[in-house]
Amino acid sequence: MTLPDIPVLRFDSIDSTNEEALRQLAGGARLPFWIVARTQTKGRGRAGRSWQSPAGNVYATLVLKTGASAATATQLSFVAGLAAYDAAAAHLAPDEASRLRLKWPNDLMLGRAKLAGNLLESISLAEDRSLAVVLGVGMNVAAPPADTGREVASLGLVSSSVEAVFASLARAFDIRLARWDEGRGFPAIREAWLSRALALNEKISVNLNNSIIRGRFCGVDDTGALMLTTEAGVVMTVTAGDIYLDALR
C-alpha cells in the first residue's frame, strides 16, 4: 500500500491533527493513516509552541509504523522536511521555488520567512515493540497567519488548492520514506537535506537553555544533530535548540 492510497480521516475543525492521531492510536486504529483538518483550534509545534491554523492551509498528520529504534526514528523529521520542500516546490514558480530552504531542525523557509513546519512524536507499540510515528505537517497555502511575532510566508495560492498541495505532500512522503528505508538510507536523506539547508557554512547563533552560542553551521551528523564550529574553533553537536539568523550579516 503506497502512502497516497492510505486512509485519510478528515475533520472540519479539530484541536490538533497530532492530538487526534494520538487518540486514534489509543483507540486501536490500524496503521498507516492520515489525519487532515481544515482548521485547528490548538495547533502546536516543537517545544509546545502554538501553530496558528486558519482555514486555507494544510494541517496534516501521517501515522505509520516503523521497526526502527526511537533514536533512528528521529531522522523522520528530515524526511518530513524534504517532503514538505518537494510539495511546496511543486506549487511554486521556479524562481520562487529556488528560494526554499530547510532550517534545522524542522522548518521550511521561503527566503527568511517560515512557510511550513513539522512535529514528530512516537509511541511504543506494546504488541511487537515497534514504534508508531506521528508526523505532523503544517503548511501555509493561501495566506500566512497574522500576529505570529515572526516573519511568515505562504504559497500564495487560492484556498481551493489545499487538497492539491496535500496530495503533493502525500506523494512526496511516499518517495522520501522509501529512500529513508527504515534508516538505512539516512546518509542520502541527510545529503539531500543539507543541499537545501538554510545558512550551511555560514555564521549562526543557537539558543541552548537560554544561552547563546555563536559559530559556523557546518552540517549535521549521522544522528541528525546540528554541527557547529564555535568561535574558539571547537566543533560541537546540538541536539535541540533554536537557530537565529541575525548572525548571518
Each residue's pLDDT tens digit, 39-57: 999 876 555 566 667 899 9
Q: What is the pLDDT of residue 193?
A: 98
Question: Which three three-digit cell numbers place residue 232?
Answer: 574558539
Residues 138-146, mean pLDDT to the nearest whole number: 89
Cβ 118 vs Cβ 87: under 8 Å: no
> Is residue 195 helix, strand or coil?
coil
Q: Which amino acid is at 69?
A: S
Q: Which domain holds residue 99?
A: 3-194
Q: How many domains does the chain have?
A: 2
**217 and 101 part of one domain:** no
Cβ atoms of residues 31 and 205 within 8 Å: no
State the angle between helix axes of 162-180 and 186-194 in degrees (0 to 180), rounded to the nearest 10.
130
**Residue 177 and residue 78 share a domain:** yes
Mean pLDDT taken over the chain: 91
User: For the whole model, what pTM was predicted?
Assistant: 0.93
Is there a single domain that holds both residue 88 and residue 130?
A: yes
Instruction: Assign residue 120 the CATH number of its domain.
Output: 3.30.930.10
Q: Are residues 40 and 99 in the same domain?
A: yes
Q: How does pLDDT run across 145-185, given as a tens digit for each residue?
A: 776 678 999 999 999 999 999 999 999 999 999 999 999 99
pLDDT reading at 1 higher than 50: no
- Last residue of some domain: 151, 174, 194? 194
What is the predicted pLDDT for the residue at 182?
A: 97
- How far CA 70 is from CA of 7, 108, 121, 129, in Å, comes to 25, 24, 10, 11
CA separation for the pair 39, 142 (Å, rounded)? 13
Q: Are residues 145 and 82 in the same domain?
A: yes
Q: Which of these three, 175, 194, 213, is where a domain ends?
A: 194
Task: Look at residue 62 and tell me whether its pLDDT is greater than 80.
Answer: yes
Q: What is the pLDDT of residue 51?
A: 63
Clarify whether residues 79 and 178 are in a common domain. yes
What is residue 240's predicted lDDT score, i.e. its pLDDT? Answer: 86
Any residues with CB less than 8 A from the CB of 167 and at least 6 apart, and which? 4
Note whether 163 and 71 are same-domain residues. Answer: yes
